[in-house]
Structure formats: structure tokens, C-alpha cells
Amino acid sequence: MTKNVGIFVGSLRKGSYSRIIAQELAKLFPADYTTQFLEIGNLPLYNQDFDDLGPVPTEYVQFRTAVQKLDAALFVTPEYNRSVPAVLKNALDVASRPYGANVWDGKPAAIVSLSPGTMGGFGANHHLRQALVFLNMPTLQQPEAYLSHVDQFIDTAKGEVNNQGTKDFLQSIVNAFVQLIERY
């Protein structure tokens, strides 16, 4: 049966390296997989009053429904101040509530972090991983994906990765993620 992987990009920037890497990753899944970019920039900041007192924003309803339908989630994110960009944390929070209706629950996940700097978004990767533990998402452990100096292997004019070695590494991540998904 076809598996549907949701892709979440932790940057809203036009020309985002994260989005380019996410688009490359999307191309690498097997034929019986579909990938779907779920946009997170339009989600109002989470406020529990929306759920407790209403009305629940339409954006929340649509996003929660879309996440619920996924078989797995792939997060591709930069690091902001050694942590997860707020827009991505907000998306996690929105789809984790109301209490008892966490639609991330049980979905296999993978994290690819990146940076033009030397540490490849390690801090963001592991802060995100910590949240996924609580959300009960079995998360790919190996290979770890911290893409450092990302600006050096992306052709921004073409919007693609410019070397085969990086493409091979991205393929190894997707292959391992598919194996994880098949286990669930």
C-alpha cells in the first residue's frame, strides 16, 4: 500500500537551504511512497484558549487533519540560536493538542538538520528529537543527518544539490527512514 510521508520545513525563507534539501529528499523515496509538503507558516501561535474556549482556527483543523492522515513525518530544519525554529515548534504544539488528541502519536519520523556553519544544526536536531520523544514518534537514529556548510553544496540558482556525494548521503537517509517506516 502507498505510504504518505509529510515533509515539514523549519524555515519560511524564500530560497531556504532547508527547503532545497527537503525537495531533494522528496525525490529519493521509492515509487510506492508519496511525499507531501505540509506548510506551517500560516498556523497562528498556539494558544490553549482556542481549544478550551473556541473557536478553533481553521488552520489548526486543516493542519491536524493533514497530519493525522500521514504515515510518517520528515523534518528538515535549520538551527535558530542552537534550537528549533519557533515556527516548527509551533507546528508540533498545534498538532499535539487538544490534550489526548496528539495526531503525531506513533508516526515514524526522521530529522535532517543543516547549517552554513560547522555544526550542522546539531542543537536544533537534538532539541527537536527531545520533543518527538514526548510526542511518541519513533525517530530515525542512524544515519544521523547534520548537514554542515550547506551553502557550499547547494546551487541556489538551480535550487538543487550540486554534488553526487551529498545526494548519495541523502539517499542513505531516505533508505534507512523507509526501513523504519516499514517496521511500523
Q: Give the footprint of ligand FNR on this chain (CB under 6 A).
A: 11, 13, 16-18, 78-82, 115-117, 119, 121
Least distance in angstroms from the C-beta of 24 to ligand FNR:
13
Running DSSP on this structure, what letter comes out for residue 10?
A: S
CA 38 to chain centre: 9
Label residues 143-161 b or e (16+ Cβ within 10 Å = b): eebbbbebeebbeeeeeeb
Q: Compute the distance between CA of residue 127 and CA of residue 180 in angstroms, rounded to an integer.
A: 21
Least distance between ligand FNR and beta carbon 162 (Å): 15
Tell which phi-psi region holds residue 82, choosing left (phi > 0), alpha (psi between -120 and 50) or beta: left
Q: Which is nearer to ligand FNR, 21 or 28 (CB)?
A: 21
Which is nearer to ligand FNR, 119 or 176 (by Cβ)? 119
Question: Min. distance of Cβ 160 from ligand FNR in angstroms?
Answer: 14
Nearer residue to ligand FNR within complex by CB, 108 or 120: 120
Nearer to ligand FNR among residue 80 and residue 169 (C-beta): 80
Closest CA to 118 of 87, 164, 73, 149: 149
Q: How far is the CB of 88 from ligand FNR (least distance, A)?
A: 11
CA dist., res. 110 & res. 13, Å (int): 22
Least distance in angstroms from the C-beta of 175 to ligand FNR: 24
Which is nearer to ligand FNR, 161 or 178 (by Cβ)? 161
Could you tell me the end-to-end alpha-carbon distance of the chain, in angstroms, rounded to an integer?
13
